[in-house]
Structure 1
Amino acid sequence: MGGGGRNCIVYVSSPLRSSQIIELLRGSVGRVVSEFVDAGVATSAGELAGMLDGCSVGVVVVATGGVESTLVEGLKRFKGLAGIVAHPYANSTAALLEAYPLLAARGIPAVVLPSLEGGVVESRVGGLVRGLSAAARLRSSRLGVVGGPSPWLVYSRVDAEIVERRLGVKLVEIGLDELVEVYRHVDDSSLHGLAERVAANAAYVDRGVDELVRALKVYAALKSIIGGRGLDAITVECFRVIERLDTTACLAFSLLNSEGVVAGCEADVPSTIAMMIASWATGLPAFMANVAGIDAGELVLAHCTAPLSLGEYRLLSHFETGKGVGVSVKYPLSKATILRLDPGLERARVGVGEIVASGLLSPLRCRTQVKLRVGWDTGRLLEESMGNHVVLVPGFHLDEVRHALTALGIAYEVLA
């Protein structure tokens, strides 16, 4: 969790603190982050700064009131990512509310616990820590970009220098020729076993073994490039892969995302970064999708790749070209969280909905289709568009995602 240093928890208290409240907090909040180093109890800004020195992620617990200046001044010197926890006793919440306008402006997320009971603490502090962890991981990550953004991504384009300056993500440019060369050196015979396993686990297959092997060669080639280049994630100009190799990257992306390696379509950098945030904050593989349909209170999302690990799947052709392997995953009916990151990397939207149908709902769309029922105005996606692709993870994960966005300095609005 985080990168390059310890992960720490510090309790901030007035000099008049009660040892009883500190022990109570160590037994509740401290238990949830038991893998963090307990750096101690700070009663001044200097002590807080000193205890956080060398930490990459710091959870700061407001133990008592009267610590507003300690928080504001002590965290000024911290170079890592901090999150703050307040609770309903000893004037903790009051202290946070007074200090937080200054702390929020620095991108420091916070949670207020309504009680110190186990379930509430685990949910809220756990969400904060997962968000901080994702942000810390992103800030030192390497994202491989194979080719360039697909030509229809007229808005969803970024400047590599801005990406690195704003978020700490290093974009690693990789030519399509390199992917083609690695692909040609993959031994077909080494993939027949994997092709048979992938097909055997599918609910339906209309692609032959040779077609599966060609698609799996893209998977093997991308894994080789990811390892050789030291990448944390990858995005590929996949339609040009079809032109060059006469197969698709859809199955490769499905397998990589199922394995926890973020792989995004169409060399769409902002959406792949959104996948990294969503996946790393939740521990779940993310689905990058087109917004294929908008109705009052409903959205249809669709793409030809989705993580195989998330549901029953079918192996079909690619929708637009009829070539290679397109993947149709049937998502379980559940809550879901969606995220869209603006290409300027300064704004995001995060929303929640309910998956009410999934699978191959129409032959006239990309192969994986998810229908979401939502309680917010879907018309805003057009009227205030941030671009097309959105990222979906199953489950209700607003807290983790919004804490990661705050820590990264990305302003967000919640659609709920």
Structure 2
Amino acid sequence: MTINLIAYTSSLDQLASSAQDHQKLLNELEIQFSVKYYKHTDLAKIPKDQFSVLFIATGGVEELIAQDVEELPRPIVLLADGLQNSLAAALEASTWLRERGLKNEILHGDIQQIKERILNLAINFHAQQRLKQQRIGVLGTPAPWVIASSVDYYLAKQRWGIEFVNIPLTRIYDTFDKISEDDVSTLCTHFISKAYACNGSTPTALINSMRFYKAVKQICEEEGLTAVTLNCYKTLKDIGVTGCLANALLNDEGIIAGCEGDMQTIFTLVMIKALTGEVGFMCNPSEVDVKENKIVMGHCSIGTKQTSHFVLRNHFLTKNAISIQGILPLGEFTILKCGGECLDKYFVSSGYILQNTEKELSSRTEVLFKMNEEASYFLRNPLSNHHVMIRGNHEGLIQSFLETYSCKRVR
């Protein structure tokens, strides 16, 4: 990973001698990172999409930092090892910046902790850069029961840099009508060959679901969408097709897809992919055991690449639509949700999948999850019904990232 180190010294001609004085710190940084060195006079030349740290090499640089305030990279991170009165200068500059509403952080002390914090901050920075590139398609309107999962598009853009785009379902239907059975026959054959089994699904349902997948993918390509959320129950009513198969395949291909028009959950899915590289499983609880901190989480679709194997099932509402029953690997997972109309709240808990279950008819993919946080959250203060599960323990990383952007943790 590359980081830019922007040196502040009380005199430009002290830069070389300062580097020698701070050699222990710089050598340690170069072991873990590819370090590019800049003078503070080169600020305008440093790309804004690269992570940078202000290296406070000497005292007497406070005024220089104040003069450069408009050009300082964000987030503002000041590194000082204490030599040549550098820590005192960092403290003074930090206070001046905070008094003007500019959040910043001083890195000082144990070198290993400094390296770990730089890595964490750099991961957060690059995740935020990826979020700014996201264009999320809202296909149709949210399902009528998703009353607590809307997003203020303007506030979301201001906070996260993401863009939500409304696309009418009629446009997808028009594209769907132009796709023939012959257009998807090879795709259907290939997909069936990867399934562990078929249970209740019909050839016609598979063909129509694959046609629908191709239609949604074409819209994504035409609109430059990186993610979509779909009111799949409306499509079932209108054309007899759900988005379960489409969502599964799009997620497999890196186009993040969610259902029911839930905007907060699609953001959660997009955010966690930007932060960890993992594709999440959109799900909701059907049972909560507050005594054992266990929950049953499930939904009617999942990306097939997230599963150990999968079964093609009919949708619980009709035999004429396809659902995906994924069997997930047991072990450590993280459950999370970003909520609020401006996406400024979150819940997160690490835990373990104990068992793949089949308790709720409406859930084709379903698991029993043991939480490390209290499961009573779901009954006392939930961020609506849909949540996201990803493999591995990412609780600390998620907390660090979201709190960097002043999000409030809900428990």
State the Cα deviation string for residues 176-206 of structure 1 (Å, max 9, x = none): 1001111111232232222222222222212
Quote the offset at 1:153 in angstroms. 0.9
Task: Give matches, 1:1-400, under 5 Å.
Answer: 9-12=4-7, 15=10, 18-20=18-20, 24-25=24-25, 27-30=27-30, 32-34=32-34, 38-42=36-40, 47=41, 49-50=43-44, 52=46, 54-60=47-53, 62=55, 69=62, 73=66, 76-78=69-71, 81-82=74-75, 84=77, 99=94, 102=98, 106=102, 114-116=110-112, 121=115, 125-206=118-199, 207-296=201-290, 297-311=293-307, 312-400=309-397
> Would the aligned equivalents of 2:354 and 2:370 in 1 still touch at CA under 8 Å?
no
* TM-score w.r.t. length of structure 2: 0.83
Say which SS state the counterpart of residue 149 (structure 1) adopts: coil
Distance across 1 between alignment mates of 2:230 and 2:367: 23
Say which SS state the counterpart of residue 278 (structure 2) adopts: coil
> Would the aligned equivalents of 1:128 and 1:399 in 2 still touch at CA under 8 Å?
no
The structure-2 alpha-carbon separation of the partners of 1:189 and 1:291, relative to structure 1 and needing over 3 Å to count, comes to same
Distance across 2 between alignment mates of 1:329 and 1:38: 45
State the Cα deviation string for residues 379-405 of structure 1 (Å, max 9, x = none): 123212221111221112234433442
Distance across 1 between alignment mates of 2:219 and 2:313: 26
Say which SS state the counterpart of residue 321 (structure 2) adopts: coil
Bigger drift between 301-310 and 341-350 goes to 341-350
Equivalent residue, structure 2, for 1:4: none
Question: Percent identity between the aligned chains?
Answer: 23
Quote the offset at 1:333 in angstroms. 1.9
The structure-2 alpha-carbon separation of the partners of 1:8 and 1:331, relative to structure 1 and needing over 3 Å to count, comes to same
Distance across 1 between alignment mates of 2:274 and 2:391: 13
> Would the aligned equivalents of 1:88 and 1:114 in 2 still touch at CA under 8 Å?
no
- Higher relative contact order, structure no. (Cα contacts within 8 Å, ≥ 6 residues apart): 1
State the Cα deviation string for residues 38-60 of structure 1 (Å, max 9, x = none): 25254xxxx485464x4124231
The structure-2 alpha-carbon separation of the partners of 1:85 and 1:172, relative to structure 1 and needing over 3 Å to count, comes to same
Gaps of 5+ in 1: 2-6
Quote the offset at 1:255 in angstroms. 1.2
> Would the aligned equivalents of 1:113 and 1:124 in 2 still touch at CA under 8 Å?
no
Distance across 2 between alignment mates of 1:204 and 1:240: 28
Distance across 1 between alignment mates of 2:328 and 2:68: 43
**Residue identity opposite 1:371 in structure 2:** L
> Would the aligned equivalents of 2:351 and 2:372 in 1 still touch at CA under 8 Å?
no
> Would the aligned equivalents of 1:127 and 1:399 in 2 still touch at CA under 8 Å?
no
State the Cα deviation string for residues 304-352 of structure 1 (Å, max 9, x = none): 1111101221111223444411112122123222221223225322423
Distance across 2 between alignment mates of 1:187 and 1:92: 69
> Would the aligned equivalents of 1:87 and 1:115 in 2 still touch at CA under 8 Å?
no
* TM-score w.r.t. length of structure 1: 0.82
Distance across 2 between alignment mates of 1:165 and 1:360: 41
Bigger drift between 341-350 and 226-235 goes to 341-350
Say which SS state the counterpart of residue 56 (structure 1) adopts: coil
Quote the offset at 1:367 in angstroms. 1.0
Quote the offset at 1:300 in angstroms. 2.0
The structure-2 alpha-carbon separation of the partners of 1:78 and 1:8, relative to structure 1 and needing over 3 Å to count, comes to farther
Distance across 1 between alignment mates of 2:25 and 2:262: 44
Say which SS state the counterpart of residue 142 (structure 2) adopts: coil
The structure-2 alpha-carbon separation of the partners of 1:83 and 1:288, relative to structure 1 and needing over 3 Å to count, comes to farther
The structure-2 alpha-carbon separation of the partners of 1:235 and 1:94, relative to structure 1 and needing over 3 Å to count, comes to farther
- Bigger Rg, structure 1 or 2: 2
- Figure out how many residues of one structure are paired with residues of the other and give that number: 399
Bigger drift between 336-345 and 238-247 goes to 336-345
Distance across 2 between alignment mates of 1:103 and 1:57: 26
CA RMSD, 1 decimal:
3.6
Quote the offset at 1:353 in angstroms. 2.3
Distance across 2 between alignment mates of 1:18 and 1:369: 59
Quote the offset at 1:18 in angstroms. 4.2
> Would the aligned equivalents of 1:40 and 1:51 in 2 still touch at CA under 8 Å?
no
Equivalent residue, structure 2, for 1:413: 409
